[in-house]
Amino acid sequence: MKKELVTLKKIAQILDLSTSTVSRALNDHPDISEATTKKVKQLAQSLNYVPNIFAKGFRKHRSNIIGVIVPNITHYFTTTMVRGILEEAAIKGYRVIISESNNDVLKQTEMLNTMMQFGVDGILASLTKMTRDIDNILPILNKVPLILFDKVSNKIPCTQITINDEEAAYNAIEHLINIGKKRIAIIKEREFSYTSEKRFSGYLKALKDHDIEIDEKIIISVDDISLIQGKRMANHLLSIKKRPDAIFAITDSAAIGVIQTLKKFNINIPEDIAVVGFSNSSHSTIIEPKLTTVDQPGEKIGKNAVKYLIEEIESTTDILTNKMIEIKGNLIIRDSTFKV
């Protein structure tokens, strides 16, 4: 599988120059005369010269590789973020290595270490659900820039990029209030999750601002915010005395479970009970009625994550940056809350 390699040395020999000069010419060093530079570049091109990335990386202590860790790559929203990451990284001349933690904290730590060892220039991570044990992550910060996106944790002192969960949830609830709903349930995560808490506080705030009583009975926490749990919790909410007239599920999958259950009991959506999700997953337009939800601009999040990361990689200062960046998500109103 070996090929006769074209190296700087070879080019230098042909042109009767030194490898130093050839190297400099190829890198547009100002010291080299235009004529030489041109000559070198031409030959390099015609010989199809490609620099040996390893020699280069070895020399410069730079890999131009970004490591990305996500809990689950099969989630649509995740793929849109990954797409943004790939695009932006390509533009900036970086390659992207991806790993999936499968929501396993141990695996996540292992992957962070492998990536470090592999010489990535920086890491972009979306954390597993129960990343309580920050101890495994903190050491990374001293070695390589780390930026968290989507599933973040304010316990880790680094730049974090999310969507404006609180505000978006607030808007979603306000929309429900505007269409006349007065008893709005929420299905959120039990485990501490930055995202879930933010959405919950948006919920609380909106209710308070509109003087709507907060009722613990319709604040539902689940371990695993899935379609199945959505179904289960909808069943539960239907069984309580004072039924809600709207359900806000903090993920689309749970919201879809809710809709499926409501339909099973022939409850009119949105007249009897309106439903709102979060994510604008591709399912949200397949389910009937189509789901009102918050569109999360995944690509934008991905692109921004790369931008901030490269900024840190290429920065000369060693100061730990600790920005909180919020990308705006928009409420998309569909039939599950408002029929035309």
Partner DNA sequence: CTGAAAGCGCTTACAG
For residue 96, the partner it binds in DNA, its own copies, none, with Cβ less than 5 to 8 A by kind, is its own copies
Query: Omega of the bond prior to 139 within 30 degrees of 0, cis?
Result: no
Residues numbered 280 to 319 that lie near its own copies (CB under 8 A) are 282-283, 286-288, 313, 318
CA distance 158 to 140: 11
Binding to DNA (CB under 7 A) within 5-44 occurs at 5, 7-9, 16-21, 23-24, 26-27, 30-36
- Partner from DNA, its own copies, none binding residue 143, C-beta < 5-8 Å depending on class: its own copies
* Helix H or strand E encompassing 293: strand 293-295
26's contact among its own copies, DNA, none, with CB below 5 to 8 A by partner kind, is DNA
CB of 207 to its own copies, least distance (A): 30
Q: CA 257 to CA 229: how far, in whole Å?
A: 7
The amino acid that residue 120 corresponds to is V
The CB-of-275 to its own copies minimum distance in angstroms stands at 14
Query: Which x/- pattern over 221-260 shows residues binding its own copies (rule: CB under 8 A)?
Result: -----------------------------------x----
**Shortest distance (Å) from residue 268 CB to its own copies:** 16
Beta bridge partner(s), residue 184? 246
Tokens representing 155 are 């316990």
Question: Within 10 Å of residue 227's Cβ, how many Cβ atoms?
Answer: 19
137-176 footprint of its own copies as x/- string (CB under 8 A): -----xxxx-------------------------------
Q: Give CA–CA dist 260/278, Å, rounded.
A: 16
Closest to DNA by CB, 20 or 282: 20
63 beta partners: none
Tokens describing residue 15: 């042109």
Q: Of 7-15, 24-32, 89-97, 124-132, which part binds its own copies (CB under 8 A)?
A: 89-97
Residues 106-165 that bind DNA (CB under 7 A): none
Q: Closest distance between DNA and the C-beta of residue 88, in Å?
A: 24
Query: Any idea which residue has 């730590």 for tokens?
Result: 109
Task: Single out the residue of 60, 239, 242, 266 in contact with DNA (rule: CB under 7 A).
Answer: 60
Rounded-to-5 percentages of helix, strand, coil across the chain? 45, 15, 40
H helices present in the chain, as ranges: 8-15, 19-26, 34-47, 53-60, 76-91, 105-117, 138-141, 165-178, 194-209, 227-239, 252-264, 298-314
User: Toward its own copies, which CB reaches closer, 95 or 210?
Assistant: 95
Classified as helix, coil or strand, 25 is helix
Closest CA to 45 of 69, 11, 20: 11
CA 301, 117, 90, 61 dihedral sign is positive
CB of 121 vs DNA, minimal distance in Å: 15
Distance CA 60, CA 9 (A): 19
When CB distances are held under 5 to 8 angstroms depending on the partner's kind, the choice from its own copies, DNA, none that residue 36 binds is: DNA
105-124 positions binding its own copies, by CB under 8 A: 114, 116-119
Positions in the binding site for DNA (CB under 7 A): 5, 7-9, 16-21, 23-24, 26-27, 30-36, 51-52, 55-56, 58-60
Positions in the binding site for its own copies (CB under 8 A): 1-3, 50-55, 57-58, 61, 63, 65, 73-74, 76, 79-80, 82-83, 86-87, 90, 95-100, 114, 116-119, 142-145, 256, 282-283, 286-288, 313, 318
